[in-house]
Amino acid sequence: MLSPAGLREVIVKRLSISPASIGLIKPVLSGFAISPSNEESRKNLLAAAGGLFMSGATLEAASNWTPLLVPTVPRLITMLEGQVEVTKSMLADEIERVSTIRPTFVKTYGVSNPDAPHRTWMAFFSEIPRTGFRVFDESGVTRNSKKKKQIEFCKRCNGHHNIRTCSRAPSCGNCGSTVHSQDMCIAATKCRNCGGPRRSDSHRFLTRPTRSSKPTKEQLKFYRKAGVMTRKEVALIFYLKLIYKVVVQRERYLLWLARYVYTRA
């Protein structure tokens, strides 16, 4: 697979256009997304798209699809010839039958057990369809698909929740204490959420919530226990290095002292 730089070179040679007319090239699931430098360059690229026919590539204008969630679609349906597994084409035909609009693209949503009796599908439309219908008279009610917002990080209390409704006491960003501010902190670095040896706003700690969910109480308990153990290990390594440094300096001093006494003698 070509890199964005390689794709830019192919487009420039095949379509005989200026490299400056192509802005950003970003890999996406369907191939590459090309951002022209201006509107005139966009029109020129689409007009010359036929030059890529011999290479097997296609250049299409960006489309704003409307996603629709189709939940609990049965994996198998019973027909005259027996049980048949629901495919993409069958689902697209059924959606067109009940909504009068054929989806541009359909795919399974998320990761599910292949042997599960039901699946959740995602249908994409070039025009806004109506919602609230069922497919095969057995599925759940279709609804618009909206991405969940990322849970916000509160710089006041160093927790993860809606920052507009935070009523918790301010905490130190370095050690998580509510007694002093970060500017006055002289304690070791400690995460307020997982107890690990890192700051509370770090992207590396285990209790950081995702877009889809946040850790449960049992997971938080396990993560905090692991974080405390990690912090103790880091502290132990620090003190061992400090002791080693002191011992080495002491040996060097004793060696210097022995040489000094021997020289004076």
Rounded CA-CA distance 80/238 in Å is 73
pLDDT at 59: 77
What pTM value is reported for the model? 0.51
Classify residue 202: in a domain, yes or no: yes
Tell me if 73 sits within 8 A of 119, measured CB to CB. Answer: yes
Convert the pLDDT of each residue in 160-205 to its tens digit. Answer: 888 888 888 888 888 888 888 888 888 888 887 777 777 877 766 6
Residues 237 and 202 in one domain: yes
Residues 75 and 34 in one domain: no
69 half-sphere exposure, CB direction, 13 A CA radius: 12
pLDDT-derived band at 87, boundaries 50, 70, 90: very high
Residues 176 and 227 in one domain: yes
Residues 188 and 246 in one domain: yes
Helix (H, G, I), strand (E, B) or coil at 221: helix
Question: 194: which 2 tokens?
Answer: 């997982």
Residues 191 and 265 in one domain: yes
- Domain containing 121 equals 66-144
Pick the range with the lowest mean pLDDT from 61-75, 108-122, 194-208, 239-253. Answer: 194-208
Considering 126, 144, 162, which residue would you say is the last residue of a domain?
144
Kindly tell me if the per-residue pLDDT of 95 is higher than 90: yes
Estimate the share of the chain in helix, then strand, then coil, as percent rounded to the nearest 5: 35, 15, 45
pLDDT-derived band at 19, boundaries 50, 70, 90: confident
Classify residue 164: in a domain, yes or no: no
